[in-house]
Amino acid sequence: MNKDINLINQETQKNLLYLRFRNKIQKIAFFLSIFFIVLSLLVLIFYIYSGNDLKKKGEKTAVLKTEINKLSKNESYLFTINNRIGGVRKTLENQKKISKVVSNLIVLYESGFIYETLEISSSGTLELSGTCDNNQILSNVVNQIEKIKNDGLFSSIAYSKVTGSVNGKYILTLDVKI
């Protein structure tokens, strides 16, 4: 029957095991220290690099801001334009252009229509009354009003009163929506 005989005594074996363990620990400690020293150096280098990068970008931003400030007049003009253009546009859109309506209606006076009143209210309703000597003028008046409507100045016309008197005069009252 074969039997292994251990020539190294137990004490020496213990010592050898201890030495191996110690060496392992020392190696781990050595590599860990190297690893962390390198890591620390890398972190430090990256930190310095990032700091410099940020500084450079900060300087570039400052230069750009200075350049923009030199052109601040252009910017304030542009800002003023954008600030006002909407308001001006809206104001003009809401303007009823009453002068245009009056100019178109006053033509009737030149063709013989004698105005009594011409009134345009804030709601955009126009009341017109006046007299004319003959049927022809009345016809011209009606045609002119129709023409103005077709030009798009009036949205609706209602002849509220057209009366003729014995002396050949006609009185016309109408409501027009601008």
Partner 1 sequence: MKKLSLTVILKDFLIPFIILIAISFLLVLFLIPKFNEILSIRKDIQKKDIEIEKLSQKLADLQTLSEAELYDMSTLLLSALPTKNDYYGILSSIRKSALDNNVILTDFNLTPGIVDDSDKPSGNGAVLSSSFDLSFSAPDVSFKDFLTSIENSLPLISIKTIKIETKTSTESASFTNFTGEASIDSYFLGLPTFLGSTDKPLQKIDNNDKKFIDELKNYSVPVVKTDVTSLENVIVGKENPFPF
Q: Which helix (H) or strand (E) holds 75?
A: helix 72-94
Site string for partner 1, 128-167 (x = CB under 8 A): --x-------------------------------------
d(Cα 29, Cα 26) in Å, to the nearest integer? Answer: 5
Scanning 42-50, 139-147, 157-165, 169-177 for contacts with partner 1 by CB under 8 A, the matching segment is 42-50
Q: Quick check: 61 binds partner 1 (CB under 8 A)?
A: yes
# residues near partner 1 by CB under 8 A: 76
In this structure, are residues 141 and 157 in contact, taking their beta carbons and an 8 Å threshold? no
Q: Quick check: 93 binds partner 1 (CB under 8 A)?
A: no
d(Cα 41, Cα 134) in Å, to the nearest integer? Answer: 109
Task: Kindly tell me which of 54 and 162 has the beta carbon lying closer to partner 1.
Answer: 54
Nearest-approach distance from CB 138 to partner 1, in angstroms: 17
Nearest-approach distance from CB 142 to partner 1, in angstroms: 20
Q: Quick check: 80 binds partner 1 (CB under 8 A)?
A: yes
Under DSSP, the state recorded for 157 is: E
Q: Quick check: 84 binds partner 1 (CB under 8 A)?
A: yes
Q: Is the dihedral of CA 43, 44, 47, 48 positive or negative?
A: negative
Buried b / exposed e along 93-108 (16+ C-beta atoms within 10 A)? eeeeeeeebeebbeeb
Q: Quick check: 41 binds partner 1 (CB under 8 A)?
A: no
